[in-house]
Amino acid sequence: MIWWRVALLSLRMLGRNRLRAVLAMIGIGVATFLLSAERAVHSGVAEATSANQDDTRLIVYRANRFCPFASKIPERYVDELLKIPGVKSAVPMQIVVSNCRASLDVVVFRGVRAEDAKAVLAPRMRVLDGSFDAFLSRGDGAMLGSALAARRGLKVGDRFTSAGLSVAVMGIVESDGPQDRNAAYVQLPFLQSSAGGVQGGDVTQFEVEVTDATQMREVARAIDERFATDRAPTSTRPEKAFVALAANDLVAIAEFAGWLGIGALAAVFALVANAIVLSLEARTREIAILQSVGFRGGLIAWSVVVESLALALSGSILGAGAAYLALEFGRFGLGADGVSVEFQPSLSVAFISIAAASIVGTVAGLVPALSAARRSIVEGMKSA
């Protein structure tokens, strides 16, 4: 019971200098905001690039090409792809992007044939509004991924213009894949003609579904060998590996962001330590009086640790909560070379950030706590 009462006393003491406490909590909140944002970027990159045993999709791209503008493969390859053992489906796809470089708001148009939209895309997507039938009934119709629609504030019936293309929004779809959530799907003939090509001519890539995930490497090798001597040799990789290569700059940004997270934790440590040291300097005489009425060193140290934890916990909740709301409603992400990486807000990321900041903040208060506990009553009175 005495430990609980001392904890309540510490909280009251913390409130005696409200301005200092509020400033410290704001600083901790900003640091935790940055930490949560860094974790969200890391989660988004991991989701987009980390392969798992259920992945069965290959991306067939033009060899030695990276930006969609430079990758041109004859659409007729689709017939040859379907003849290769282990290939379940092959979807020719034209890609047009608003910007090939790394950017916060890249719009990706993906042109697909009508039969592929119904047979391949529709089963892996959930229609939130509109329908695939409405999309296919209109040559300039588009099905928008949920993240792209939310980021641009678009709904069914709106007109959407980007990258020199103007389309009518005929549906909003949700998907487990970040590439689908951030793309605008249009009909292939419309995109080919709008991009200056001809219907049935060249496409940017093929999405190939294999029948057995364990045979992805063998199928990829067979595809590249088949077209090695054709006019458009190919480079085939699993989808996650293709995204990791295309988003090379984004992966580097995520790695750098890791240092930002470490810096944020260091800032939390410094802010809490500074606030506690200043608080103890102002309460030296009070601590000596508490010792004189029977408070032992352990209780003094406990009161300082509680104060440190309260500062770190309140500031980290403020920062992590603000980060979660900003990322949830902002739907931020990065795009490069036609692939997208979403910033992934989640409650688990928020709780991890709060826990990390609280632990670091508590550790920051340990040295001042031990110092206060070991200080003698006489020394405390002289310092007052």
Residue 40 lies in a domain: yes
pLDDT tier at 292 (50, 70, 90 boundaries)?
Answer: low
Q: Which residues, in sequence order, are CB contacts of 71 under 8 Å at separation 6+? A: 61, 62, 65, 95, 204, 205
Q: Same domain, yes or no, for 72 and 199?
A: yes
Residue 241 lies in a domain: no
Q: Same domain, yes or no, for 116 and 262?
A: no
C-alpha span between 31 and 37 (Å, rounded):
10
Residue 180 lies in a domain: yes
Q: Same domain, yes or no, for 89 and 35?
A: no
Q: Tell me the H-state helices in the chain.
A: 2-14, 18-49, 77-83, 114-116, 132-136, 146-152, 178-181, 188-194, 216-226, 239-246, 248-282, 284-292, 297-330, 347-364, 366-374, 377-383
The first and second tokens of residue 231, run together, are 């006019």
Most confident of 148-157, 238-247, 340-349: 148-157
Q: Same domain, yes or no, for 213 and 272?
A: no
The predicted pLDDT at position 16 comes to: 66
Per-residue pLDDT, averaged over 92-104, amounts to 78
The first and second tokens of residue 383, run together, are 């310092």
Residue 122 lies in a domain: yes
The first and second tokens of residue 221, run together, are 């090798």
Residue 186's φ and ψ, nearest 5 degrees, are -130, 170
Q: Same domain, yes or no, for 199 and 336?
A: no
The pLDDT of residue 383 is above 60: no
Q: What is the pLDDT of residues 141-188, one digit of tens each?
A: 999 998 888 888 899 999 988 878 899 999 999 988 888 888 899 999
Domain count, the chain: 2
74 vs 38, higher pLDDT: 74
Q: Same domain, yes or no, for 70 and 13?
A: no
Q: Which residues, in sequence order, are CB contacts of 228 under 8 Å at separation 6+? A: none
Q: For residue 361, which of 248, 236, 269, 256 has the smallest C-alpha distance? A: 269
Q: Same domain, yes or no, for 40 and 71?
A: no
Residue 58 lies in a domain: no
Q: What is the pLDDT of residues 184-211, one digit of tens each?
A: 999 999 988 887 666 668 899 999 999 9
368 vs 4, higher pLDDT: 368
Q: Same domain, yes or no, for 101 and 35?
A: no
* Residue recorded with tokens 């974790």: 39
Residue 296 lies in a domain: yes
The pLDDT of residue 270 is above 60: yes
Residue 202 lies in a domain: yes
Residue range(s) defining the domain that contains residue 7: 2-48+249-383
Mean pLDDT of the chain: 80
Angstrom distances, CA of residue 9 to CA of 119, 358, 375: 67, 20, 20
Per-residue pLDDT, averaged over 97-120, amounts to 82
The first and second tokens of residue 177, run together, are 């894949």
Could you tell me how far CA 175 lies from the centroid of its own chain? 16
Q: Same domain, yes or no, for 158 and 254?
A: no
pLDDT cut 90: percent of the chain above it: 22
Residue 55 lies in a domain: no
C-alpha span between 139 and 150 (Å, rounded):
23
